Amino acid sequence: MALALALGATAAAAAPAPGARPASGSVPVPPAQLASIPVSILVDLGSGQVLEQRHPDTPFLPASVTKVMTAYVAFEEIGAGRLSLDRTFSERPETEREWFAKGTNMYLTTKDRPTARDLLHGIMTASANDAAVVLAEGYAGSVEGWTAKMNDAARRLGMSRSHYNTPNGWMDEGHTYVTASDLVKLADAMTTRYPDLYREFSGHKRWMWRDVAMRSHDPTVGVVPGADGIKTGYTREAGYNFLGTAERGGRRLVMVLAGSPLPKVRDEAARALLEWGFSAWDTQHLFDQGQTVAQARVQGGDARHLPLVANREVHATIPRGTDPKVTLTVRYRGPIAAPIRKGEQVGELEIRVDGLAPGRVPLYAGRDVGPAGPLDRLVNGFLGFFA
């Protein structure tokens, strides 16, 4: 079901002038630093609009960007109360023999007892291969058991063109692959569903393990204002990759670069692309986080309507200096059958800025709706008869 949404009183400040259009040639030109990078994307999460993309749905080897999904699975387990950050882990002798000093590393041994917190810092800041395997084996019993959780999370997030075969991104003959569009979905879920855990483990330039400083290779944190992660990756086969994000003034941008031939090329492009996303584009505010966007019809519930809300501040992203027409459409499969849980994703808001591709922002149930009781069914039937 689709509902056209008028820009009325709740979004008066964002409403464009009637019939306004972007000026001819007003769509910003992406920075030249992207020229030699085969895969790229930049998305404004507040509007869902893609500001720049090149081969966004072409699978590529993620290398250590794989570890972002390992961290996300850990966040899910922590959020569900099944994993404590203080839980200690021990390394199997076989794991030490295989992974000690193999690529970037925490140099764990069988004598160490790192906590889940230690391992997540090692994974996200130091990109430690051994930490990812110790977490995977220690929690799921095996790498295979852990990667099953990674693929299940990918499926639930709609990452339909990605597959995980390893927790750390080590070369595996191409069995682990992702797309730029899919990584944006992962970054979106990580930053919006687990913001506290994201802030604790992402965006740090260094972290101390034992008495050794483990350093991040993130090219934007501490350089681009608002940048707070997420992960670089490199193997000879994959090239130099980066999943990055930054937040300024309520706007969060997510970018992916993949297959860069040199780290310098990737790093300069990452900084230029984020700055371009903030400086060349502006926003028109539409809804506050948690504000009701629309009412959806409910079937068989103790309420006839359900408020649909966004889990973020919502805006339209427009070329700076323009005043285009903005059209909003709410889409959901309706009427929505009860029972419905608060926070369950039930639809999306489509944002169309004239002259640009549409963006989509997920919408969630703003309250619980239980199954209809006898009185509810009677009232609903009576109202339905006269509708």
pLDDT tens profile 123-159: 999 999 999 999 999 999 999 999 999 999 999 999 9
pTM comes to 0.91
The answer to whether residues 313 and 291 touch, using CB atoms and an 8 Å cutoff, is: no
Task: Report residue 329 as tokens.
Answer: 């459409």
CA distance 303 to 62: 46
Q: In what order do the strands lie in the sheet with 359-365?
A: 2-5, 326-332, 345-353, 359-365, 305-309, 292-299, 336-337
| 185 a catalytic residue | no
Q: Which of 47, 127, 162, 216 is catalytic?
A: 127
Strand 305-309, strand 227-235: pairing: unpaired
pLDDT value at position 212? 82
Q: Confirm if 350 and 359 have CB atoms less than 8 A apart.
A: yes
pLDDT of residue 383: 47
157 three-class SS = coil
Tokens 């966007």 belong to 293
Q: Is 264 a catalytic residue?
A: no
Nearest 5°: the CA angle 141, 143, 148 is: 95
Q: Which stretches of the chain drop beneath a pLDDT of 70?
A: 3-25, 373-387
pLDDT the model gives residue 211: 86
Q: Is 58 exposed, middle or buried (0-12, 13-18, 19+ CB in 10 A)?
A: middle
Given the DSSP bridges, would you call strands 251-260 and 281-287 parallel, antiparallel or unpaired? unpaired
**Is 64 a catalytic site residue?**
yes
Q: Which of 47, 64, 181, 260 is catalytic?
A: 64
Cis previous bond, 78, omega within 30: no
Which of 40, 47, 67, 231 is catalytic? The answer is 67
Which residue shows structure tokens 């693929």?
A: 151
Residue 374: the pLDDT is: 55
* Residue 213, H or E segment: strand 212-215
